[in-house]
């Protein structure tokens, strides 16, 4: 019998498309209505009811075009038994 892990890690990327990106020392970030989207911004993992089950942060960002900033993220210790999940930048 194979044991099911109690938790797992979620990894991914978040793309911000805007023609008014800020070039920061750690890559890029949003401005204006997107100024809260920057390295270190919170990433939340929710269950099917919307309850937060794990927290992480946006990691390094890179300018992938003149209007696209791509952030990486990873969130560890996500409970494995929740069924459906949501991922959101807060």
Confidence class of residue 19 from pLDDT cuts 50, 70 and 90?
confident
User: Quick check: 37 and 88 in contact, CB under 8 A?
Assistant: no
CA-based nearest residue to 67, from 2, 15, 24: 15
Question: Would you state the pLDDT for residue 13?
Answer: 94
| pLDDT, tens digit (0-9, with 9 covering 90-100), for 21-70 | 888 777 888 888 888 898 999 999 999 999 999 999 999 899 888 899 99
Confidence class of residue 15 from pLDDT cuts 50, 70 and 90?
very high
CA-based nearest residue to 54, from 13, 14, 6: 6
Instruction: Give the Cα separation of 84 and 87 in Å (integer).
Output: 10
Tell whether the model's pLDDT for residue 20 goes beyond 90. no
């Amino acid at each position: 019998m194979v044991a099911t892990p109690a938790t797992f890690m979620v990894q991914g990327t978040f793309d911000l498309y805007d023609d008014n990106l800020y070039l920061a020392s750690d890559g890029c970030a949003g401005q204006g209505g997107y100024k809260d989207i920057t390295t270190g911004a919170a990433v939340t993992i929710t269950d099917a009811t919307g309850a937060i089950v794990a927290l992480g942060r946006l990691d390094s960002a890179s300018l992938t075009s003149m209007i696209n900033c791509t952030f990486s993220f990873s969130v560890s210790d996500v409970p494995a038994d929740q069924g459906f999940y949501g991922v959101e930048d807060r």
